[in-house]
Chains A and B, each alone.
Chain A
Amino acid sequence: MAAKSKRDQMIDMAVLAPLDWVDERTGAVRGTKWFLFRNVPRDISWMQTLGSAALTAFIVQTVTGAILAMYYKPSSEIDPLTGKPIAYSSIEAITNEITLGWLVRGTHRWGASVFIILLFLHMGRVFLFGAYKYPRELQWITGVLILVMGMLMGFTGYLLPWDQTAYWATVVGINLNGTAPFAGPWLAQFLASGPEIGSDTLPKWYALHMLLIPGALIALIFVHIYLVTRLGVSSPPWSKEAAGRERTAVEPTGARAGLVRGSGGD
């Protein structure tokens, strides 16, 4: 074995040694390598990018949301300085005054719509490919739950600016839930924090939007990605080289014809 060049030795010390140190103790490096370099079917294409695109949109939402939380004030009390509800004033400030606030807020608002569109497209693609069948049933179920949680995020987030659109869409939405038999009126009263929307409603919806539903979403996404990594991505079912295709015996022709019993010579 040739002696390593000086440059290689330097790379060893600077990069590989620390990585080995971490890997020996955590297994993280070998795990990442497995994730990155694992095989996927050779015939997958752009259609299979919708899931990770949805994940990107979710990450955009999480990051912009976390930053917006630093400037948003979840209170429906009237701000004595502006004469408008405090939440509304904080949104106005984010949009008009705070540096680049308009961009982060706009990204968060439109990212939500893009996230939901991508979820639907991804669901449609999976349905088309029949990729909800064995062994991927749990993936489909977690996926549907992610869709539901995503739409709930949209619903709870819609209230936060506390403008007319937000308030009344929420009133109708809560009443819609209220019409469910037996438990409906109770669920509606819980959501509204009282018989009607009051001063406790906005903080509750903020907690739902920021903490509870994202927590559930992140857990579901973890399970979903773990499953797709473990079970593998499915090939397009119409593909000639689909992974998992039927095994048919190859019949030799030409010079080898007749050598295998049952195969015809030409």
Chain B
Amino acid sequence: MWPIAFAVGVACLLLGLVISWIVAAIGAVLAVVFGFLWARDVTRDVRDEVPAIEPETRAVADQPSASTTRAVATPQPLPAYTRSRFLEASTLGVGAAIGAVVTLPVLGFTVLPSFTNLEEDEADLGPIENFPEGEYVIASFLANASAGEVSRRTTFVRNNGLTEGGEPSFTILYSRCVHLGCPVQPNGPIDEENTKEINGVELRPVLAQSFGCPCHGGLYDAEGNRQAGPPVRSLDRMTFSIRNGRLVLGELFAVGNVSGTGANATISRYPWSVPGTHVDGVEAWLYPIVPSQVTG
């Protein structure tokens, strides 16, 4: 009977795949149950009585087969790789796998987002008429509008007029000191009367061509080059573009040195890295790879 029932089950399963899944499920159950019963019947002669063997411990398993006292002849000598060793190894292995599955994603989640989830908007500072030529304006804006005030950045912007090739030139210095990140002050009085604030961008003209950091006395000249004190490189700058007559800021980069001035300056540009890290000279070898080189 069993083979017939098994065949019926298989047929139902195949039919059900076409007609309806309930039929298929019933067929699967029939096939499994009667298939099992059929197999049990068929193998009845082949299945032996299970011989009484002493429980396998490590000591028993690792010894050669001469130690067993069973009358029934073992078909082959006990293999060197015993069951207990397999169980030990697989317990540790599966444990390690569990550990990995739990901790690796968590570790990745802890560490990686600081390097991968980086968004920055381009900041629109307004019409370039707001930036008189040759003078610095303190411009503060939100680097990431969705993050809000926590992403506010301040830069010192100077309109340099046109380069020799006729392109507009701006010097945009980042206000964080490159010694340890203190806020740098412009060395001169701020023109409070001509201060503007539009759409979260604040513009304050200042009569200054040098900058000083109060923390440890760092002094920068009009191009942001270090003049005195502990800063390890020139002030960081930002890239920019002019769109529809408006000054739009791009990304931050580090500066080793600036030679020349204003529109004709030559700027040695490096990928941005944390204040206090050298970008050129011997000490740059201390920082061979910095995050911005990898994350862009």
**Is there direct touching of A and B in the complex, by C-beta distance under 8 Å?**
yes
A168 within 8 A of B: yes
- Interface contact A198-B287, CB-CB below 8 Å: no
Q: A77-108: which residues lie under 8 A (CB-CB) from chain B?
A: 77-78, 85
- Interface contact A178-B277, CB-CB below 8 Å: yes
Counting chain A residues whose Cβ lies within 8 A of the other chain, the interface size class is 20 to 34
A-B contacts at CB below 8 angstroms, number: 84
Closest-CB distance, A103 to chain B (whole angstroms) = 30
A259 within 8 A of B: no
Contacts of B147 in A (CB 8 A): 198-199
The CA of A198 and the CA of B277, in the complex, are separated in Å by 21
- Interface contact B291-A185, CB-CB below 8 Å: yes
Q: Which residue of A lies closest to B111 (CB)?
A: A190
Contacts of B149 in A (CB 8 A): 76, 78, 85
Q: Which residue of A lies closest to B287 (CB)?
A: A185
Which one of A76, A174, A182, A185 lies within 8 Å of B273 (CB-CB)?
Answer: A185
Contacts of A124 in B (CB 8 A): none
Which one of A78, A175, A186, A197 lies within 8 Å of B291 (CB-CB)?
Answer: A186
Q: Given A78-B149, A199-B147: A194 and B114 within 8 A (CB)?
A: yes
Contacts of B286 in A (CB 8 A): 181-182
Q: Given A171-B181, A179-B277, A195-B272: A200 and B113 within 8 A (CB)?
A: yes
Contacts of B274 in A (CB 8 A): 174-175, 178-179, 184-185, 188-189
A176 within 8 A of B: yes
Q: Given A175-B274, A185-B277: A199 and B182 within 8 A (CB)?
A: no
Which one of B117, B252, B290 lies within 8 Å of A185 (CB-CB)?
Answer: B290
- Interface contact A195-B148, CB-CB below 8 Å: no
B87 within 8 A of A: no
B266-296 CB mask vs A (1 if < 8 Å, else 0) is: 0000001111110000000011101110000
- Interface contact B275-A178, CB-CB below 8 Å: yes
Contacts of A197 in B (CB 8 A): 150
The CA of A197 and the CA of B183, in the complex, are separated in Å by 14
B42 within 8 A of A: no
Closest-CB distance, B283 to chain A (whole angstroms) = 9
Counting chain B residues whose Cβ lies within 8 A of the other chain, the interface size class is 20 to 34
The CA of A174 and the CA of B180, in the complex, are separated in Å by 9
Q: Given A171-B181, A182-B288: A195 and B150 within 8 A (CB)?
A: no
Contacts of B21 in A (CB 8 A): none
Best-surrounded residue of B150, B183, B275 (most CB of chain A within 10 A): B150
The CA of A182 and the CA of B144, in the complex, are separated in Å by 29
A193 within 8 A of B: yes
The CA of A182 and the CA of B292, in the complex, are separated in Å by 14
- Interface contact A181-B287, CB-CB below 8 Å: yes
B118 within 8 A of A: yes
Which one of B114, B182, B215 lies within 8 Å of A192 (CB-CB)?
Answer: B114
Contacts of A200 in B (CB 8 A): 113-114, 117
The CA of A179 and the CA of B232, in the complex, are separated in Å by 11
Q: Given A178-B274, A178-B276: A199 and B114 within 8 A (CB)?
A: no
Q: Which residue of B lies closest to A171 (CB)?
A: B181
Q: Given A168-B182, A181-B286, A194-B118: A175 and B150 within 8 A (CB)?
A: no
A172 within 8 A of B: yes
B36 within 8 A of A: no
Best-surrounded residue of A168, A174, A198 (most CB of chain B within 10 A): A198
Closest-CB distance, B238 to chain A (whole angstroms) = 13
Closest-CB distance, B52 to chain A (whole angstroms) = 39
CB pairs A–B below 8 angstroms (13 shown): A168-B182, A171-B176, A172-B180, A178-B275, A182-B288, A184-B277, A185-B291, A190-B111, A194-B114, A195-B118, A195-B291, A199-B144, A201-B150
User: A-side interface residues toward B, CB under 8 Å?
Assistant: 76-78, 85, 168, 171-172, 174-176, 178-179, 181-182, 184-186, 188-190, 192-195, 197-201
Extra A-B contacts (6), CB below 8 Å, given A77-B148, A198-B147: A78-B149, A175-B180, A176-B276, A193-B114, A198-B151, A200-B113
